[in-house]
Structure 1
Amino acid sequence: MDSATVTILLTAAACAGWIDAVVGGGGLLLLPALLVTAPGIPVATALGTNKLAAIAGTSTAAITYARRVKIDWAIAAPATALAIITAGCGAALAGAIPATAYRPVVLAVLVAVAVFVVSQPRLGTLAHPHRRTRARTITAVAVTGIAIAAYDGLIGPGTGTFLVLAFTTLIGTDFVHGSAMAKLVNAGTNFGALVVFAATGHVWWLLGAAMAICNIAGAIVGARMALRRGAGFVRTVLLVVVLALVARLGYDQWHTT
């Protein structure tokens, strides 16, 4: 790769780290950047290299949040443990399913998420601990540690956003606490997927390590901004990221039909 291409990828990694730390969805930026600037790169290799950068950022953000926010470990711990295993299973199947098979489904889900967030202006601005029941707790662990984690290993972009929304709607966290828990689970999904991609030779280590450093820098800035500005700021970024995901997937779908 020439210096211009590397610069573009490192910049994308830093921006993706910021997005991931605030609300998730950094893969929307970094994964397409890899596929566009490195023509011919296998999808699995792009996913694996992206995971190497992403795990650095999400882990850094998780530590930053954990130092400032009280984590609900009764949910976060089992969800993260499950996520490592499930994301690894998803990664083992990456590349076997064509984009045309999953893109319309993900697009429909994202449109529904955007409508839901817009129609619920108070969602995530305040915590609602009364929503947390035993059944909701089990559901939250299953949805985040199994369903969303499998999606991350198999596809990826938007995972952090789905995690934040899952915690917010299922157990009534505000966006800041939901984002903090999402980072822990997302670090687990990234780790599980990375192990599989590394074992199958689908990681560009040198490039991934350089992007990881930039991703960490972006994650530190993003986590601190989210903690300082609060739930309203996170909600705004969440909606922007969801709409951007819809636009990106809609564009891809339109150009392949």
Structure 2
Amino acid sequence: MPDISLTVILLLCLAAAAAGWIDAVVGGGGMLLLPVFLLGLPQVSAAHILGTNKAVAIVGTTGAAITYARRAPVDVGAAVRIGLMALAGSMAGAFFAAGISSETLRPVIMVVLLGVAAFVLLRPGFGREQRRGPVGRGRAVLAIVLVGGGIGFYDGLFGPGTGTFLVLGLTAILHLDLVTASATAKVVNICTNAGALAMFAYHGTVFWQLAGVMALFNLAGGMVGARMALSKGSEFVRGVLLVVVFSLVAKLAFDQWSG
């Protein structure tokens, strides 16, 4: 692991706590943490940044999932089936991630964020009502293939926004409200993080000591965020999602054009 100043470590830990909170509420804590990694560790390869981020994220996501499971109606069976496909997809994505350079991450994240913002703004009623009745076989298969396999692959390859895409995908395909989708997404996200982390660990691209310290902050942020989402409901989740997306687009655009 390279020499890292105490100031940078503190910055990364605070970002990990904030990312854990965001990830628990709307998903996509990596959209905050990855830019901070790029800012604080500019000399580090993208593979090491992505690998360390996974080691941090899996702890906070697990804490949020446990918090949700105690109070939210999570379809564990569906989440596990989607999650197993997502695990395989994330391992495949992580296999190709070693060739990604840090310079490619910013524009990719910007495009992803703008797509999320446009979708949510054009659908003001999206995610406010819970599905009635069982899920049809076709929708279940579609969720496994697109949400599990597709988003899982993306998570292993890039990562930022995965939790948000899981929430949006589960809401759109399975017709879940945003709070239930957030709870279900956490179970799936544990699988995607585990698959990608296994591949990054195999290639030796994880700074374990740094990840261990940051994970404690990420865990605390995730548990607080899950409790707030459960108590405040879907409208709160939607508002946080839009604020996060536009703030990060502005920041990344400034970094891209000023650099």
TM-score by length of 1: 0.92
Once the two structures are TM-superposed, the CA of residue 245 in structure 1 deviates from its matched residue by 4.2
CA contact (8 A) 2:47 2:100 kept: no
Aligned residues, how many? 256
Whichever residue aligns with residue 30 of structure 1, its letter is L
- Summarize deviations over 1:149-204 as a string: whole Å, max 9, x none: 10010001111111000011111100000001111111111111111111111011
Q: Does 1:150 align with 2:153?
A: yes
Change in CA separation of 1:146 and 1:253 when aligned onto 2, cut-off 3 Å: farther
The equivalences for 1:82-231 within 5 A come to: 82-98=85-101, 107-129=110-132, 132-231=135-234
2: CA distance, partners of 1:108 / 1:47: 18
| Gap regions ≥5 residues in structure 1 | none
Once the two structures are TM-superposed, the CA of residue 109 in structure 1 deviates from its matched residue by 4.9
Task: Select between 150-159 and 95-104 the one with higher mean Cα deviation.
Answer: 95-104
CA contact (8 A) 2:61 2:190 kept: yes
Q: Does 1:63 align with 2:58?
A: no
CA contact (8 A) 2:61 2:189 kept: yes
2: CA distance, partners of 1:134 / 1:25: 28
- Summarize deviations over 1:70-118 as a string: whole Å, max 9, x none: 2113421111111112101111111324567686666445434322211
- Summarize deviations over 1:41-87 as a string: whole Å, max 9, x none: 11101111111110000011111111111211342111111111210
| Gap regions ≥5 residues in structure 2 | none
1:240 corresponds to: 243
Change in CA separation of 1:248 and 1:212 when aligned onto 2, cut-off 3 Å: same
Change in CA separation of 1:136 and 1:247 when aligned onto 2, cut-off 3 Å: farther
TM-score by length of 2: 0.91
CA contact (8 A) 1:161 1:242 kept: no
Give the CA RMSD over aligned residues.
2.1
CA contact (8 A) 1:79 1:185 kept: yes
1: CA distance, partners of 2:159 / 2:173: 22
2:57 corresponds to: 54
